[in-house]
Amino acid sequence: MEQPIPIICPYCGVGCNLELELNADGVPKKCGATGRNPDLNGRYACVKGFAVTDLYNHPDRLTQPLLRENGRLVNTDWERAISTASDKLQAIVKTYGADSIGMLVSGKITNEEVYLSQKFQRVVIGNNHVDNCARL
């Protein structure tokens, strides 16, 4: 059996230390806490940490962008998805004003991503309506 891979749980800001086991094909099969960092989470993790591999391997997991066309979600590429999102945001700002758009960021993104998110909201959209899911 391969050695477990030490990882940091990506789900929330606690950043628990976990260990990931792979199957023979290199696909994650099991995740758990082994006490690598007793001052943080020791041998404990919440259900989200233990379920990392279930989510990673789930057949419904999104692996590429989708666009809604005629009421149905269809696969697309990143360039078209981002271009469409940009067009729609600009149309909303033009019709309803910048204050009609707010941004909620995830609690599991990095500090740098949070910085970029607030910068985008302030500079591109034009207001400071940005918050974090931790306050919902």
Identify the CA nearest to 124 among candidates 100, 95, 93.
Answer: 93
> How far apart are alpha carbons 92 and 84 in whole angstroms?
12
> How far apart are alpha carbons 49 and 64 in whole angstroms?
23
Q: Does 98 bind ligand SF4 (CB under 6 A)?
A: no
> How far apart are alpha carbons 31 and 120 in whole angstroms?
35
Q: Does 45 bind ligand SF4 (CB under 6 A)?
A: yes
> How far apart are alpha carbons 15 and 37 in whole angstroms?
11
Q: Does 16 bind ligand SF4 (CB under 6 A)?
A: yes
Provide the greatest CA pair distance for the chain: 59
Of positions 49, 53, 121, 125, contacts ligand SF4 by CB under 6 A: 49
Of positions 9, 31, 53, 125, contacts ligand SF4 by CB under 6 A: 9
Q: Does 31 bind ligand SF4 (CB under 6 A)?
A: no
**Stretch near ligand SF4 under the rule CB under 6 A, chosen from 39-47, 58-66, 93-101, 116-124:** 39-47
> With contacts defined by CB under 6 A, how many residues of the chain interact with ligand SF4?
11
Residues binding ligand SF4 (CB under 6 A): 9, 11-12, 14-16, 41, 45-46, 48-49
